[in-house]
Structure 1
């Protein structure tokens, strides 16, 4: 077990969030990076359906088109190849797709609703891209400094802050998947473990602390530090790991792309079959440290490639909005009943 985890203060995160990655000291033969939401714990659906989406509808007055907003937001955040992407990028996808749909245009006109304009959001994401920055509240505030009278950015930041403020109330209610603790114990004997995720540093720190699994980590790289690919690259360079000494565990296409950009291996935690994935991990990790993982990875990636959707339901022939929305209603209801029984959810 590692015992060298150093928690960053808020001042340190604000001043130089990537410092812990630049100064990373290697202690083991291998590097294992792990995504968090939907990978370590079954909190992906909960965070999106109970927090991200309701908070946005509340901030922007979109409850009257709840079924349309949830359908689009859930597609981009949970069920498609975009799963696990940054919140602001997912929001851009969601709002642009809603604005482009004729059925949504008809509904918002009938109800007198105005969809949020994405101009400032688009410019913020372009600002991050040009300056090689990660997307998160820290860089959103820096962007705000360049246009201090842009009220739409204040509102966007308010939503994102509210989301972050809500997460800690959920973290102690959603334990890690079975076999996660045992797997971390084994991994830590052979590899430096780093959480690489698009959640905020503070949310990640809170979850791993509350669940008493922080003790296995070397460090945490959240959205403030950069993209997943950038963060893996920084640790790889600082630690001097070779390509075949790097493994990432993740549940999204973005995780796969991030580690492959750094020429490492990927172990998919299959969405919908997470428990089974963790049960099988031990054999695969043993193959990884023995240099025999490549053929196993190839088989796993074939399966992983069939799970996430690449085309939304509303772009397919014969699309029926109410029918499509109802398909995921049992998932929504189960999460609300388990965590927020009196929460606001459209009944269909």
Structure 2
């Protein structure tokens, strides 16, 4: 269901990121799909270890964790250009990022029609190859973090559930369906709907102020929540199971308008975990 088709049933909304937050898929996707496709597309086999280390730093182990694929690619290609080998046409990717309304394959395809660019064609090929490799990952390698399903099921007693992800729609939808979560989801908002910030803006307008919370594992989730003046609960990288186990006590505060008292402390623990 799209945002336009969505009608709230509860007075509270819990927005949940997918990769690396509810679904333990982030690390394997970056190692076996995104990073692999990066090395193959730009013929970086001789620098594999160095490139992969930087790709994982950007996307997994720093304050840019969870960044949109094209924003992460821009950072990685700039690093490669400065430290490994020249990458021609980087200004074309920067211009796309500065002007696009959303960062998706469809948006990039449309942009290329009026702004031809060899580098952007390579970026699109990289993104398509990444999607191919993601589809080829064994299903058994991607599962929910512990406690996720029980907690989400419990959330539906008081809240609507929105999946808010910067990832590809088909990949997110198919994972949540396979993992048995579809009965609990009210609406899906992925990269085709725009940025997380825009998705949260559109969703939060349907609820009273203070009745929306974002559950996420990356700084982008926090930034999107802050820009829309909604609450944030972090799933800490490396402590995902524990974070999901503890979420109930914070949701009790959320439902009773008491989360303000500890919101900054929660955010500080999140930032400290990624430093």
Q: CA RMSD in A?
A: 1.6
Alignment counterpart, residue 40 of structure 1, candidates 11, 22, 36: 22
**Equivalent residue for 1:12?**
none
How far is the alpha carbon of 1:116 from its aligned partner?
A: 5.3
Q: What TM-score do you get using the length of structure 1 for normalisation?
A: 0.75
Mapping 1:121-200, distance limit 5 Å? 121-128=93-100, 133-147=101-115, 149-170=116-137, 172-173=139-140, 174-200=142-168
* Gap regions ≥5 residues in structure 2: none
**Equivalent residue for 1:281?**
247
Further displaced range: 85-94 or 21-30: 21-30
Alignment counterpart, residue 271 of structure 2, candidates 305, 308, 314: 305
Contact 2:33 2:131 in 1 (8 A): no
Contact 2:213 2:231 in 1 (8 A): yes
Mapping 1:182-331, distance limit 5 Å? 182-237=150-205, 239=206, 241-309=207-275
How far is the alpha carbon of 1:95 from its aligned partner?
A: 1.6
Please identify the structure whose Cα radius of gyration is greater: 1
Q: Measure the CA separation in 2 of the matches of 1:134 and 1:166.
A: 23
**Equivalent residue for 1:120?**
92
Contact 1:127 1:143 in 2 (8 A): no
**Equivalent residue for 1:50?**
32
Q: Measure the CA separation in 2 of the matches of 1:298 and 1:271.
A: 18
Q: Given the alignment of the two structures, is residue 89 of structure 1 paired with residue 71 of structure 2, yes or no?
A: yes
Contact 2:32 2:133 in 1 (8 A): no
Contact 1:168 1:207 in 2 (8 A): no
Q: What TM-score do you get using the length of structure 2 for normalisation?
A: 0.94
Q: Measure the CA separation in 2 of the matches of 1:82 and 1:285.
A: 26
Q: Measure the CA separation in 1 of the matches of 2:262 and 2:25.
A: 27
3-state SS, counterpart of residue 267 of structure 1: strand
Contact 2:11 2:208 in 1 (8 A): no
Q: Measure the CA separation in 2 of the matches of 1:171 and 1:139.
A: 29
Count of residue correspondences: 274
3-state SS, counterpart of residue 31 of structure 1: strand
**Equivalent residue for 1:100?**
82
Q: Measure the CA separation in 2 of the matches of 1:177 and 1:88.
A: 26
Q: Measure the CA separation in 2 of the matches of 1:227 and 1:34.
A: 14
Q: Measure the CA separation in 1 of the matches of 2:88 and 2:22.
A: 33
Contact 1:136 1:223 in 2 (8 A): yes
**Equivalent residue for 1:3?**
none
Contact 1:134 1:224 in 2 (8 A): yes
Contact 1:60 1:116 in 2 (8 A): no
3-state SS, counterpart of residue 193 of structure 1: strand
